[in-house]
Amino acid sequence: MHEYRTNNCGELNQSNIGQTVKLAGWIQKIRDLGQMKFIDLRDQFGITQIVVSNDGISTKELTTECCISVLGKVVERASKNPKMPTGDIEIVAEKITMLGKCKNILPFEINSDKNDAREDLRLQYRFLDLRNEKIHNSIILRSQIMKTIREKMDEMGFTEIQTPILANSSPEGARDYLVPSRLHPGEFYALPQAPQQFKQLLMVSGFDKYYQIAPCFRDEDPRADRAPGEFYQVDFEMSFATQEDVFQVLEELIPTVFKKHTQNCEVDEGPFLRIPYREAMEKYGIDKPDLRNPLIIQDATKLFEHTEFNAFKGKTIKMIILPEGAKQGRKFFDSMTEYAVNEAGAKGLAWVKKEENGEYAGGIAKFITEEVKQGLENFGLKNTDAIFFIADEFKAAQKIAGLVRIELGKRLDLLEKNCYKFCFIVDFPMYELSDEGTIDFNHNPFSMPQGGLEALETKDPLDILAYQYDVVCNGYEMASGAVRNHDPELMVKAFEIAGYTQEDVKNRFGAMYDAFQYGTPPHAGAAPGLDRMVMLIAGTDNIREVIAFPKNKKARDLMMRAPSKVDEKQLKDVHIKIDVEEK
């Protein structure tokens, strides 16, 4: 017989009655009935009830979460539990061996459904938190999803290739993590923000279709839906490919993964809805719209051209019609105004109701002239509807309206249930204005501009669109991609507009610049985010729940105590001196 176990804790049933077995796992619960004790023994596969009635077995050292091995006979359970796969049987213990003692006092209750321990405490003891069934199953789900992805990518003819982790610094839109070189004083590697340059070089090398589940490193501020520091993406690239070819891959891969790993949920199939970036900003106020939310934003600027309402004069005015919103009380409108001002950055939130009798009431009703009334009816306003108005400069009005739309959807429970709605956001601007007023890349600097070299030479940079695209699912950006700029002349010109010289391009992207001189095929690709995909399928809005060992909200690993200080000898080895102001 095996030293620790013959079976796992989730597989025994009535067909095993009479067998002598050995199980190993963790004690989830102990029920002491005096002459008899019942132990729920747990491992990754399930729970089996152990009965201890043998006076020769000592249970003094046994506590919840200690690790034990149990030898015993399978018997039919008198009081069956239909909710457990092993609920028809139990094990009468003949011998219990302690494999790993556990402290009597745990930092938090591991298998509580509430899971209400402080997140930082849970992350400090992540090895315990991962024993929680929900968290544990999310990590197993992640593994299963990765397997499905690999099977599907292999089926579609992609070759899995690993690219370097120690790379060069690249302007991907976030700060690099730098790694000092011991052998080359004063020089640094950078951890890759994405395998962008390497995967393009693989296309130059003649590989037809590449993919990998790639680790990426970006020194950016954490959010609930974005892991700080490091994340994984399903990175792929295709030679002789257009935007349409990439869309076909995404429309096959994504529904396959979601359908296989979700239950009782409707999953959009391809072709996905395509929404130009500017239309997305107009209708939803954001470039990652949640299509489960039926509300849309409309522009009412012309409607109030001659208004006497000072807050609207000279402003862009966005409005959201809320069906049957007139049935809401004053408290609701006041709380939405409070949200818009305190959370969304608005100067105020105007509103009005159209009562059942067709009269306008509340909010700014006195500024709704007959001309405005007619215009609102043309927008589809009906009796019992309400309208929220946002007035500000153009970009701010769009952004605030987008946040108000999202909040209304949440508060009024308007989102369609049990479904995953996908769309492509297309036609992103190639460039944008930086905070300093200079021209900068909007998205990916290696993208192909629509119109090619002619567009770069003749158009206002802010009017140039790129062959860039995102996949959005239920309000989350789930993938980004682009047709690549594979022409060296075009590449230099694109970077020149963003303030880089030809020498800058040669120095910073020398491998790509050189490679593009030697017969580069047109190529395109994308990169769905693995962490975010698992988060959506697992039904959580906290990405840390689907990562085995995540950082906290301040990008610290509380379990491993990273980042941490290192000694002077280590610093000297890599030719580094610390210059930190004393606090």
For residue 312, give the nearest of 322, 300, 297, 326 by alpha carbon. Answer: 300
Neighbours of 328 (CB within 10 A): 18
pLDDT per residue as tens, the chain (583 positions): 789 999 999 999 999 999 999 999 999 999 998 889 999 999 999 999 999 997 789 888 999 999 999 999 999 999 999 999 999 999 999 999 999 999 989 999 998 766 678 999 999 999 999 999 999 999 999 999 999 999 999 999 999 999 999 998 875 567 899 999 999 999 999 999 999 999 999 999 999 999 999 999 999 876 767 788 899 999 999 999 999 999 999 999 999 999 999 999 999 998 999 999 999 999 999 999 999 999 999 999 999 998 989 999 999 999 999 999 999 999 999 999 999 999 999 999 999 999 999 999 998 999 999 999 999 988 989 999 999 999 999 999 999 999 999 999 999 999 999 999 999 999 999 999 988 889 999 888 889 999 999 999 999 999 999 999 999 999 999 999 999 999 999 999 999 999 999 999 988 888 889 999 999 999 999 999 999 999 999 999 999 999 999 999 889 999 999 999 999 999 999 999 988 876 6
Q: What is the pLDDT of residue 488?
A: 92
Q: What is the pLDDT of residue 227?
A: 82
Long-range contacts of 114-121 (CB under 8 A, 24+ apart): 119/544, 119/552, 119/553, 120/552, 120/558
d(CA 34, CA 53): 9
DSSP labels, 446-465: TBPBTTHHHHHHHS-GGG-B
The β-bridge partners of 557 are 562
Q: What is the pLDDT of residue 111?
A: 83
Q: What is the pLDDT of residue 115?
A: 66
d(CA 213, CA 356): 56
d(CA 383, CA 379): 13
Q: For the chain, what are the domain ranges?
A: 14-100, 136-270+422-568, 293-415
Residues 6+ apart with CB under 8 A from 165: 191, 192, 215
Q: What is the pLDDT of residue 173?
A: 60
Q: DSSP letter at 238?
A: E
Q: What is the pLDDT of residue 62?
A: 94
293-415 maps to CATH 3.40.640.10: no
Q: What is the pLDDT of residue 468?
A: 97
Q: What is the pLDDT of residue 186?
A: 92
> Residue 146 corresponds to which tokens in the numbers above?
């990765």
Q: What is the pLDDT of residue 174?
A: 75
For residue 152, give the nearest of 267, 257, 245, 234 by alpha carbon. Answer: 257
Q: What is the pLDDT of residue 434?
A: 87
Instruction: Tell me, yes or no, if the pTM score tops 0.75.
Output: yes
136-270+422-568 maps to CATH 3.30.930.10: yes
Q: What is the pLDDT of residue 366?
A: 92
14-100 maps to CATH 1.10.357.10: no
Q: What is the pLDDT of residue 583?
A: 63
